[in-house]
Amino acid sequence: MTTLLKSATIIDTSSRYHKQTKDILITNGCIAKIGNNIPTKANYEVLALDNLHVSPGWFDTSVSFGEPGYEERETLQHGVQVAAKSGFTHVAVNPNTNPVIDNKSAVEFLINKTNGAATTVLPIGALTQQSKGVEMSEMYDMQQSGAIAFGDYNAPVSNDNLLKIALLYAQNFDGLVLSFPKNNAIAGEGVANEGKNSTLLGLKGVPALAEELQISRDLFLLEYTGGKLHIPTISTAKSVQLIKEAKEKGLDVTCSVAVHNLILTDDELHGFEATKKVTPPLRTEEDKKALIQGVKEGVIDMITSDHNPIDIEHKKVEFSTAKDGTIGLESAFGALNTILDLETIVSCLSTNPRKRFNVELVSIKEGEKASLTIFNPNRSYTFSKQRIISTSKNSIFLGKKLKGKTYGIYNNNQLILNS
């Protein structure tokens, strides 16, 4: 297959064509030529779209699909289509399935079930058996089968010694350990950020301290053991400061932030809409500003949609009893594009996560493998249900003004476009 992208503005700081508008000819999955006015032939698939931009393919490091076990939320087959049309060439899939992805057979199931899809699925294996935080999982076996990291999704490891052993053990095979930043004893039964809004609304609070205590513990353990630690979805100003100090010490730690924690605050909770109930919770304006600054300074390495489809039976209920989670693949770029420049977005959605999770780096150069995200950064719109591709519709961004449309991706020798 030969595909010609016409008049594409390239966003790729590793390419000499960065910020230049060029034609890109792709043959058999590789970039054959980049130039001005490349002639069209009869057998070419030509892509000429309004304000066409391309960047190295985006990689979301925290995506949940339902299958196996919760297919009513999202099947793997449909989930990878959602990811592709949302601009993601790679997704790391969380182990919060039933059964939990905590062994090599489960990892191989995810890979085999999505083999041949345009979006590449990269499993995250559970750090502990059944994600219960009691016994360590078969990390080495899972890595040999294709797992790229190990963590219990939205479930903290409360046993200090277990995390210590995991950090030590993973060094034998250069494994990446994820530790969700939440101290359950402090968080208790909280459902919203502890502060003015939770008090006014009569909602049980989750103190910022619950996150910060856990991060402090994790960093002390990392300093003791060595190894590689990734802290997913931080949400407070103090968390940014703690990780900044750890990096200055030379600790091998990275972190991510969810798109919604960069855009929204707990002021959103006044309508008691369960779509706004997420983990970690929406925090304050001060926290939001610190997170954005953390991204711009490089303290926060990557941004994730933290896409988590929840079926209507568990979401369209009273706020306090609703399951936490929001879908986010479809709205990720449009939301980020309202607060960050394109270079920062591409760095946090492509370059940095690929480096940390040991996924092949790509660049828009002749002779390189074509793994591209295709988008228009200038189209503004209100995000509505009509724009949701996911089976579940629990989007935190419904009704919000977004900017930027993803046209789709070119990856694995396939062009997938968002209609």
* Catalytic residue IDs: 306
State the DSSP H helix or E strand holding residue 63, giving kind and residue range, or none if neither.
strand 58-63
359 by Cβ neighbours in 10 Å (0-12 / 13-18 / 19+) ranks as: buried
Closest CA to 330 of 305, 363, 356, 365: 305
Residue 257 in contact with residue 63, Cβ under 8 Å? no
Please report how the helices 237-249 and 285-297 are oriented relative to each other, as an axis angle in degrees rounded to 10. Answer: 30
Could you give the C-alpha distances from 287 to 116, 156, 192, 235, 236, in angstroms and in order? Answer: 41, 21, 14, 7, 5
Q: Where are the beta strands (DSSP E) in 75-144?
A: 88-93, 120-125
Yes or no: say if 364 and 344 are a contact pair by the CB < 8 Å rule. no
Q: Which residues contact residue 196 at a Cβ distance below 8 angstroms, ignoring those fewer than 6 apart?
A: none
β-pairing, 253-258 vs 228-231, is parallel
DSSP classification of residue 120: E
